[in-house]
Structure 1
Amino acid sequence: MGAPKMTDAIINQSVNILDGWAGKLTWDLYLETLAVDVGHRYTKAAMLRHDRIKDAWDHAKERCRSSDEGSSKSPEIALMETRNKELEERVQRLTRENNRLLEQFVRWAHNATRRGMSFEDLERPLPYVKTKDLS
């Protein structure tokens, strides 16, 4: 039996691994690292079905190609630079994801308006749904 369907949490974990990746990046190494973290082995094809993962992969691969491996910096400085680069990559990825979501929102608002929905219709709060008490 294969791995379960990828949830948002697993997708987030997958892109976070790529944000912090340093050194050689191959699908085998990445999928093995992910399998250790999430407890399931996914395929390259399954990963590439998710735009967020594909985008994070492309940027991590490019970053790994252009990194300076032969540096003679102190370990502390190298660690700080690695952490700084990881955070910069995460900010860039989140900015790209946010821009895609904003574009999607504009598209949905445009299409809803064309179908006769007013701004008031779009702003109406979601209905309250009482959930079971799980305690």
Structure 2
Amino acid sequence: MGARKMTDLMINQSVMLLDGWAGKLTWDLYLEALEVDIGHRYTKAAMLRHPRIKDAWDHAKERCRDSDRNMAAKPPEVALMHTRNSELEQRVERLTRENQRLLEQFVRWAHNASRRGVSLEELERPLPYVKTKELS
């Protein structure tokens, strides 16, 4: 039986873990920590199939490399504040990149829909209500 397919929630947890990563970053360390968070161990190849995770990995790796150089002579309190600030800045950068990709995707979809003759009214139509069966 193969590995469980990663859900959006699992991908988000994976990315958030990278956003907050401090110190040495290796695939073994990351996959080990992620296994604790999501309860399943994935491979590096499986993780790299997800563009959000790959992008977050690349930026976390660069951030950790820069952090190691800059943190050597700072007092612990300053280092902690710097780490937290850096984590939040990286999260904002990642979310900005993700948002930009989604905006580009939306423009592409809108263009393709208009070429197929799909009207704005059809695109703006609310999703149908689907009654779910209550669990007893």
Name the TM-score class by shorter chain: over 0.9
String of CA shifts for 1:57-110, please: whole Å, max 9, x gaps.
000011111113553322222111101100110111011111111110110010
Give ranges in structure 1 of 5+ residues lacking alignment: none
The CA RMSD measured in Å over matched residues stands at 1.3
**Partner amino acid, structure 2, of 1:3:** A
**Partner amino acid, structure 1, of 2:93:** Q
Question: Which residue number in structure 2 is paired with residue 52 of structure 1?
Answer: 52
1:7 deviates by 0.6
C-alpha separation between the residues in 1 aligned to 2:35 and 2:26? 14
- Larger mean CA deviation between 68-77 and 6-15 belongs to 68-77
C-alpha separation between the residues in 1 aligned to 2:122 and 2:131? 22
The reply to whether residue 16 of structure 1 matches residue 10 of structure 2 is no
The reply to whether residue 86 of structure 1 matches residue 87 of structure 2 is yes
Q: Check the 8 A contact 2:47/2:53 in 1, yes or no.
A: yes
**Partner amino acid, structure 1, of 2:88:** L
Question: Which residue number in structure 2 is paired with residue 103 of structure 1?
Answer: 104
Question: Which residue number in structure 2 is paired with residue 118 of structure 1?
Answer: 119
C-alpha separation between the residues in 2 aligned to 1:69 and 1:99? 30
**Size of the alignment, in residue pairs?**
135
Q: In the superposition, relative to structure 1, how do residues 70 and 89 fare at CA in structure 2: closer, same or farther (>3 Å)?
A: closer
1:121 deviates by 1.0
**Partner amino acid, structure 1, of 2:36:** V
Structure 1 stretches of 4+ with a deviation exceeding 3 A read none
C-alpha separation between the residues in 2 aligned to 1:40 and 1:70? 33
**TM-score (norm: length of structure 1):** 0.94
- Larger mean CA deviation between 121-130 and 60-69 belongs to 60-69
Percentage of pairs with the same residue = 80
C-alpha separation between the residues in 2 aligned to 1:47 and 1:8? 13
String of CA shifts for 1:8-40, please: whole Å, max 9, x gaps.
111011001111111111111111111111111
**TM-score (norm: length of structure 2):** 0.93
- Larger mean CA deviation between 65-74 and 99-108 belongs to 65-74
The reply to whether residue 66 of structure 1 matches residue 66 of structure 2 is yes
